[in-house]
Homo-oligomer: A and B are copies of this chain.
Amino acid sequence: MDANQLYQQIRAKKSFLCVGLDTDVRKIPLSLTSKGKHDAVFEFNKAIIDATADLCVAYKPNMAFYEVNGARGWDSLAHTVQYLREHHPEIMIIADAKRGDISNTASMYAKSMFDSMDFDAVTIAPYMGRDAVQPFLEYQGRWAVLLAVTSNESWNDFQTLDIQSAHGDKRQLFEEVLERSKHWGHEGNMMYVVGATHASMLQRVRQIVPEHFLLIPGIGHQGGSLDDVVKYGMNRRCGLLVNSARGILYADGSARFAEAARAKALELQQQMARHLEQLG
């Protein structure tokens, strides 16, 4: 999927919502797990997708929640991707995997994520540098989503360290990550993760990467605000994918979970529609 196809979808759906499929088997309603269904995680995802696909432009499965179920979890994930491809081929699928390794291993991860699994995009950690990202950029129409500013409590252990750059100017680590990595690919094959919990950082991010898509976790459950994200992070075309996972998936723990998920997703989509209108 290229950037134009993604923008087409954003305009058509009046949404830049990404639904995080952090599907925790312990939080799935009994109505699904007790039915002796073959694959309750997939059934849950399918119900969430059916309830929200017209309101969002991307789904983001969180790999940890599938890996924890071993080979069975990997199957749930493969079925989810397959279901999306068959029923909603326009939607972007982002593997939240935070991979990153030496080049021959990174090539394997890229093959795993793009060939074996058919994801459109993968999140990647920057500590190992260009090597760890390059193999993902060699796939036409696929994306590498590099961590810049994360939404977790200890984000500033390292990301905001003051760096002495070669030119003598002062930068923080996340700015150096952005400055260097933006030349590895381009706006059509790289995005950045910037947590909504530090929305004011978005201004500084936008000074370095004005045109790239930013994948924004952390609204809702983690405390970030959509209005702030838009205020500091939206560019002239939009340039945002805002993720919500727990707030949508577990809006209601009963058999009516899908309706409740739709209501939450609709609420976010309507706010997004207003922001997109103002953009023109």
Q: A69 — which chain B residues lie within 8 A by C-beta?
A: 116
A 87-116 binary contact with B (CB < 8 Å = 1; else 0)? 000000000101111110110110110011
A42, chain B: closest CB distance, angstroms: 12
Contact pick for A161, options B116, B132, B176, CB 8 Å? B176
Q: Would you call B101 and A101 a contact (CB within 8 A)?
A: no
Copies of this chain present? 2
Segment with Cβ contacts to B, from A5-13, A70-78, A249-257, A268-276: A70-78
> Which B residues lie within 8 Å of A22 (CB)?
105
Enumerate chain A interface residues (CB-CB to B < 8 A): 22, 24, 62, 64-65, 67-75, 78, 96, 98-103, 105-106, 108-109, 111-112, 115-117, 125-132, 147, 150-159, 161-164, 170, 173, 176-177, 180, 217
Can you give 25 A-B contacts (C-beta < 8 A)?
Answer: A24-B108, A67-B108, A67-B112, A67-B116, A68-B111, A68-B115, A70-B112, A70-B116, A71-B74, A71-B75, A96-B101, A98-B100, A100-B125, A101-B152, A125-B127, A125-B128, A126-B157, A127-B150, A128-B147, A128-B152, A129-B155, A129-B157, A131-B155, A161-B164, A162-B163
